[in-house]
Every structure is written in structure tokens, then in C-alpha cells.
Amino acid sequence: MPNTPENYTLARNKSFCNFCPGYCCYRLPGSTLYLHAEDINRIARHFGVSDGEIRNRYLENKNTFKTREDGSCILLANDRMCKRCTVHEARPTQCREFPYNNPCPYLENPGLLEMIHPRIEQGLAVAGDEGR
Ligand code: SF4
Ligand code: SF4
């Protein structure tokens, strides 16, 4: 079978997400993680706090999460290698559905990886230094 994007079943069926550091958890220019009220409520129930508390702690404006300087989602544990989404069971709909049954663009486009990979390395290096 030819190795074409149509055949990237690992990237398409999300199995690859289990082995990925979460490239899509970093904000890029022009991209927004859009949160619905149900997403905020699900995360509030996950933490056992009110929706307002989640909005105060984690939201930037009305409908997206804050990000760190490196663009990582505030809920991403960028200091460890695996299980990086700290609200995985309660993650927002957009996070669940991305890349919408298409091949993952981060695995298709070396330019995207080049932008994000150094940020991942940097986060892990800082965590390593702090652990010394
Ligand atoms: S959608 Fe792509 S970038 Fe995001 S976790 Fe899955 S494989 Fe990684
Ligand atoms: S909520 Fe979790 S999956 Fe969604 S962007 Fe943040 S860290 Fe990534």
C-alpha cells in the first residue's frame, strides 16, 4: 500500500495521540482552542469546583484557556513526558475531536513540528534543571 496521507491510519484514528507529547496543545498564531460552557462545566466537575472558579483560574477572555509564554495550554503538564493533559478525562470537545478524522497536520507538516518541538524540549529541560 502506498504511504500516502490517506493511509496514515495511526494519525487518523488518534492512536498516535497516545505516543505524542501533544503538539496540538501549544497555541499557534491564528489558532484558538474554543471552549463551550459544557466544556467548562465538565472540567469544573472534574476538579469539584464551580464553573466560575475554572473561569477565574484557567480562562483567558471568555472562551479559551490561558497559555504560558511558550504557548502551552495552562492545563498541559509541560514538565513531563507522558500523560501531559492534566484534565484528559474531562478535556474539551475540541481537544477530543481534533484532528477531526483527518491526518494530524502536526505529523504532516514539518514546519509545525519545527515551531513546537523546541518549546517541548525547553519545558522538559527546565523541569530537569529544577529537579537537580
Ligand atoms: S492530534 Fe496530533 S498533535 Fe495532537 S496529540 Fe494527536 S497526534 Fe499529537
Ligand atoms: S485541555 Fe488538555 S488536551 Fe486540551 S489543549 Fe489543554 S492540555 Fe491539551
Ligand lying closest to the C-alpha of residue 87: 2
54: pLDDT strictly greater than 80? yes
Report pTM. 0.88
> Can you tell me the distance from the alpha carbon of 68 to that of 63, in angstroms, rounded to the nearest whole number?
16
Query: Which pLDDT band holds residue 103 (cuts at 50, 70, 90)?
Result: confident
Distance 25 CA to ligand 2 centre (A): 5
Q: Where are the domains of the chain?
A: 30-130
Rounded to the nearest integer, the mean pLDDT of the chain is: 88
Cα–ligand 1 centroid distance for 16 (angstroms): 7
Q: For 69-80, write each residue's pLDDT tens digit.
A: 999 999 999 888
Any atom of ligand 2 within 6 Å of the Cβ of 25: yes
Q: Are 31 and 60 in contact (CB under 8 A)?
A: no
